């Protein structure tokens, strides 16, 4: 089976030359599937891996828009409809200047497995544009979103492909995207998730990814007879995932000492309490300022151009972006006493970092399991939209909590069953692979 995996990896490398993030994501999954492929050799004959690595459809389009001064800009938009074996394509949209085919393919590929772990009926997809929202006015953001949706609308639908947010796409952008979809189609439906609660959104969706990651870390600690009380936590990022990871950590008695953005990171040894967090939310979601201002306001340490992995901590929650913990960062985290790494972001740890955490025997939760609470709650938003009902905050949070407990249990048990006890990466990859692969077999060659 090693030969099968290696031959598929080789063809992925040749066919997708110059797409390092995509190759990295595929390599991690495929290598960890070897015990499952050995136990079930028929997958190779059915070309399951070859089919899984190739998206079902990829749409690329021009996005032409005008800035406030009348200057015309052109960006590249894309939607990758990766795999629909277990449900309609589902996954976020990312607006960031670094967006390219490699990034969207890695995210779409990961999404297929993540969505399978939620146990809800959602296939995987991802999209976005190489648009930089920084320093753009609300009007410019609106015009960009409208231009983007003017092409995307013909490819999506509540039973076909359901986008949501990701980096650079939050409540404001979802509003503008939905408004344009409605104008073009004359339909008010659940085509997009992360909507405002005033018009079809779900309570707890904004909180869900961060809360879910913390619930997952709590389950891992429980297996070792511990909990989050008093744990010192390093969180990276200061956007949606970082904010609500911090909020739930505080609620469960942990102490959060770091946050970051793409300019640098802050270290507050006193801890970021609820009041300081409310200030960060205002800074990032309303004033759209830089995290450096936190250090000036609360007398914390600010380190320009540095990620927050240099501080003494028990737990790390990378919640900003891919490859933000490399081998060197991992060594530093271990030196600082870190015993748990829980990925709120998608693929924040490099393969070297993961290897070091596993060698050290610390708890490591891969993003496709740990951050699945966001898309799971998108699934709950879809259920509410289909029935035209909305559930209470308590109801949605309780369902999210139960989903995270189940994901943890399924990953844990699958890892044990396939001879890698305690390895959540192997557990998550094999558990989700089996569900998607079996569904593909049952639906024939389509
Ligand atoms: P936001 O746009 O709300 O926040 C992103 C944060 O990460 C910002 O603080 C941003 O800083 C920082 N960041 C972005 N790119 C970089 C970079 N290249 N280097 C350093 N810092 C960076 O996005 P989210 O919080 O929604 O997403 C964060 C991560 O979580 C992503 O990996 C995303 O894919 C993942 N995720 C998100 C889910 C969701 O529901 N939103 C669900 C599951 C995973 P700055 O403001 O300076 O750009
Ligand atoms: O990476 C992710 O899981 C997301 N950005 C959320 C996707 C969604 O459809 O809610």
Q: How far is CA 197 from CA 182, 206, 380, 393, in A?
A: 17, 10, 13, 11
Predicted local confidence at residue 236, as pLDDT: 98
Beta bridge partners of 62: 76
DSSP code, position 443? T
Pick from 92, 168, 400 the residue to mutate for probing ligand 2's pocket: most ligand atoms within 8 Å of its CB: 92
CA–CA distance, 207 with 280 (Å, rounded to integer): 15
Gyration radius (Cα) of the chain, Å: 21
What domains does the chain contain, in order, with CATH numbers? 55-187 (3.40.50.10860), 208-370 (3.40.50.720)
CA–CA distance, 260 with 242 (Å, rounded to integer): 9
**Nearest-ligand number for the alpha carbon of 243:** 1
**Nearest-ligand number for the alpha carbon of 370:** 1
Phi, psi of 388 (to 5 degrees): 55, 40
Each residue's pLDDT tens digit, 143-173: 999 999 999 999 999 999 999 999 999 999 9
Predicted local confidence at residue 2, as pLDDT: 86
Q: Which residues of the chain, if any, have pLDDT below 70?
A: none
CA–CA distance, 397 with 307 (Å, rounded to integer): 31
Predicted local confidence at residue 49, as pLDDT: 98
Per DSSP, the three-state class of 54 is coil
Backbone φ/ψ region at 163: left (φ over 0), alpha (ψ -120 to 50), beta: beta
DSSP calls for 254-303: -EEEEEEETTEEEE-TT---HHHHHHHHHIIIII---THHHHHHHT-EEE
**Residue linked to tokens 């200057």:** 71
C-alpha atoms less than 13 angstroms from C-alpha of 412 in its C-beta half-sphere:
15
Phi, psi of 325 (to 5 degrees): -125, 105
Task: Answer yes or no: is the C-beta of 90 below 6 A from any ligand 2 atom.
Answer: yes
CA–CA distance, 257 with 236 (Å, rounded to integer): 10
Task: Look up 248 and say whether it is catalytic.
Answer: no
Distance of CA 332 to the CA centre of its chain: 24
Beta bridge partners of 64: 74
Predicted local confidence at residue 1, as pLDDT: 75
Predicted local confidence at residue 443, as pLDDT: 98
101's enclosing H/E stretch is: helix 101-117
Task: Answer yes or no: is the C-beta of 378 below 6 A from any ligand 1 atom.
Answer: no
Predicted local confidence at residue 315, as pLDDT: 98
């Amino acid at each position: 089976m090693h030969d099968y995996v290696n031959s598929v990896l080789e063809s992925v490398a040749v066919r997708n030359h110059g797409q390092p993030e995509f190759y990295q994501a595929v390599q991690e999954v495929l290598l960890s599937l070897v015990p499952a492929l050995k136990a079930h050799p028929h997958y190779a004959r059915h070309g399951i891996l070859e089919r899984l690595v190739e998206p079902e459809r990829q749409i690329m389009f021009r996005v032409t828009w005008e800035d406030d001064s009348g200057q015309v800009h052109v960006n590249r938009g894309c939607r990758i409809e990766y795999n629909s074996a277990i449900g309609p394509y589902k996954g976020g949209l990312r607006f960031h200047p670094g967006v390219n085919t490699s990034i969207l393919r890695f995210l779409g590929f990961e999404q297929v497995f993540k969505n399978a772990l939620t146990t809800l009926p959602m296939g995987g997809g991802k999209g976005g544009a190489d648009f930089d929202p920084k320093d753009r006015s609300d009007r410019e953001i609106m015009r960009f979103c409208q231009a983007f949706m003017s092409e995307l609308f013909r490819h999506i639908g509540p039973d076909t492909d359901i986008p949501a947010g990701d980096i650079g796409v939050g409540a404001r952008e979802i509003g503008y995207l939905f408004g344009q979809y409605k104008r073009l189609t004359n339909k008010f439906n659940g085509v997009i998730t992360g909507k405002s609660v005033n018009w079809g959104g779900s309570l707890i969706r904004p909180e869900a990814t961060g809360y879910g990651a913390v619930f997952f870390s709590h389950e891992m600690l429980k297996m070792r007879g511990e909990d989050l009380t008093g744990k010192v936590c390093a969180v990276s990022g200061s956007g949606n995932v970082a904010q609500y990871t911090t909020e739930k950590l505080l609620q469960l008695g942990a102490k959060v000492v770091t946050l970051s953005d793409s300019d640098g990171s802050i270290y507050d040894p006193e801890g970021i309490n609820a009041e300081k967090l409310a200030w960060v939310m205002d800074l990032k979601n309303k004033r759209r300022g830089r995290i450096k201002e936190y250090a000036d306001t609360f007398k914390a340490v600010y380190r320009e151009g540095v990620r927050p992995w240099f501080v003494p901590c028990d737990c790390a929650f990378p919640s900003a972006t891919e490859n933000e913990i490399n081998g060197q960062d991992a060594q530093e985290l271990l030196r600082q006493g870190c015993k748990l790494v829980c990925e709120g972001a998608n693929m924040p740890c490099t393969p070297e970092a993961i290897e070091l955490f596993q060698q050290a025997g610390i708890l490591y939760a891969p993003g496709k399991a740990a951050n699945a609470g966001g898309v799971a709650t998108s699934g709950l938003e879809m259920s509410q939209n289909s029935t035209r009902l909305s559930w209470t905050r308590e109801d949605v949070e309780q369902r999210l909590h139960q989903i995270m407990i189940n994901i943890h249990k399924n990953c844990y048990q699958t890892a044990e069953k396939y001879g890698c006890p305690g390895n959540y990466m192997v557990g998550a990859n094999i558990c989700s692979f089996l569900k998607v692969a079996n569904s593909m077999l049952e639906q024939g060659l389509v």
